[in-house]
Structure 1
Amino acid sequence: MGATGGATMEEAGGLRKRVLAFAAVLALIVGGFVLARWASQPSLAPDKPVAQQWIEAVSQFGLEPVYPPQEDFVVGDILAFITADRKRYVEADPLPLRAVKLWNADLSAELKETYSATYRFPATSERPANEKSIWKQPARESASIFETPFERRDMPLALLPGFTIATKRAGDLDASGLSAVVGLRASGAKSVQVSVEGVETYGVPALYAEAALLKFCGNERFKNVCTDKGMRAQLSMIVGSDICEMMPAGPKGKTTPRFSVELGLVARVYLARSVQTFLEDGSSVTLSGSSTGQAALPSPPSPPAQLATPPDAAAESARKSEQTIIDEKLSAQRASITQREATTAPGVQSVVQRGDSSRIAINQVLQRPVAIGFRSVRYIARPVEGQLCDRK
């Protein structure tokens, strides 16, 4: 009877371990599939349109972005801007969705005057082959280095650092039981690196730009455009009648327009002749598992039942010492069995790894430079109550 009972307990322990192992493997399959799909397929920035990614990246340089980059965006352009929408974020919209070009003020005379009074340093010499040598720069022999040129024939240079749009994901899945230990790790990364090369810039001082904008608004043909009502009439070509929408009254009972509008003149433009783009995509999945199929360890024997009549102190002390010795032997035996299970027990141990990556480089050199950013002077016209728009 005792042998049969022991075998039954061992069979029950083995069945329990097999059930736990199956549950752990099932958890690995289901959870691992979800984890791998999540981690190895990251989306960029996250799922933003290319226009918004470009605009946010260029904005980090302290510039107002031009998207798409274009050649016919020049100093002197006058635009009506939507600068805020109280229902959505519009700062990341490309210019065609939030600005209308109204006019171009000819500032060629101001540009010539500006750069005729600006000196030009000599070109940089070749870097010496010996890094320890002094990198000497050429000196102007015919005139002072601060001599102002009579006529400038090239544009001033500008330097913009490259920027990266990237996202990474990584995760772990672990399941453990008495007879199985499985784990999975998945990771993925996508990035877009953009390098803008050959950057040049030109512009006029703010006072010239302000004078040109005020002159435009003082012209009888255009002065109505410089009012809040006139700007909204122009911008209605982009957003329609929503440009006249008013927001609900606030705590003080005052209403405000949904859109804020401004008039601006482009005072400085940044141009690029080459754009390099690097697209990188990589992911990896690692699966590890082990199973020994060993039966559960038997439970330690129960301590002997206490006598109904309390023994004397000497007998009690001897019984406790004997029980302590038994417990220590059982603990050592269990530790030895566990160690053998971890190192020499038969079973399956496996590691599966998978990874892939790709890199695409695109270098686009343009025939002529295109505008990628600008700076402007702005004019704000306060709306007249009850005259936001012409309503028919």
Structure 2
Amino acid sequence: MSTFQRLAICALCVGVVACSSRPERGAVVQQWSANTEQLNFKPIFPPRGNFEVGDLYVVRAAKAGAKMKTVDYYMSSVWFDRMRLDDELAKAAPHITMQKTPEDKSGLVATTSVPDLFVPNTSTKMNALVAFPGFSFASLAESDLGLGVSNSAIGAFFGGARKSAYSVAYSVPVAETYGVLYGDAHLAADTYLKAYTEAKRDKLKDAVVSLKNDAKAVEKDGTTSVLVLVTQVYLARSLDVVISSTDSNGAQLAAVTRALTDLDERKTAIENQLKALKPAPKAVAAADGKVADGKAADAAQPAVPVANQALIKQKETELAQVNADIRKRVEAVTPAMPGVTGSVVKSTATGLTLRQVFDTPVAIGYSGINIDIDTLIKERKVEEAKDIDTYPLKQMMKVEMN
């Protein structure tokens, strides 16, 4: 073997090892949040359902304008407490009843609506639609997600520059929001947090220390911690996932998209058959005219006819198989993508758009009040923390306060 061959193999191995390392901790969250903050609210990662107005998070923060370190996006917050703000939600609910957009008979315009959300134990609607026209609130390259690192390393060695094989963009087709008025939230927080016992304030100190330890910085990381009261939540019931490839992978992706289109048609047909086999749910109202709770509504659902039960089970099995086939096809072009399934919205020779619909809405962003923890612990005074930027609400752990 010649000296050049030995050097080439050695250099290639070094390139593969170097490029195959995972991204720095917090890199995915940082990429996710970069575009989201352009929408004038703070991002939540990952999007999730158990997130409400009134939640209190201990969040890592930096001085406004300071460069935020990638590692600080990792384990950037702790879910600490939750306030009930039912009265404040009712006060902030829309008092003008919006009429639905007339249906477009031509079929050229598709209008979309979302189910109403109600203030707990009332019939007061509190949510409103939000539009993000043509905006991708997150865009991740292969290098950000750690996909196909070996191929990228080889391309970097022979091509002189690393080039991602795939990019993934996320957008929200329809969003909704609900929240409380700033003044009402501030007054409620003042009353609630002043009543914290010594034990609760000690737990608050522990949460601050846990964030410092999770950063694992050798030197002082330059961040502080604040208590964030969530006053506005932005929800999505579906996400559009756009997967794009380079020209070299276009033929493979085109074949996959054709197969996915067929699978999507089968999936839609099975879902319609299941809907026809199951009895329609009945609306339930409490004696006082308020919206019934979930248990009462579940108890009032009509039973499935015995004759349909076996067929329903068969169709559910078919649906599970189709979803598995869709996942398999997607993984053929993006091997490391987390199980992305859903309806095929659009497909081209070099791109694929899938729509992931959730059973219940997930929170994608929030607005809130930043509360100074030191002042709260020492003086039991609710004072806002000024001139700081908070990191995304990422960590889901809840600190119990006994």
Bigger helix share: 2
TM-score under structure 2 length normalisation: 0.47
TM-score under structure 1 length normalisation: 0.48
Bigger strand share: 1
Bigger Cα Rg: 1
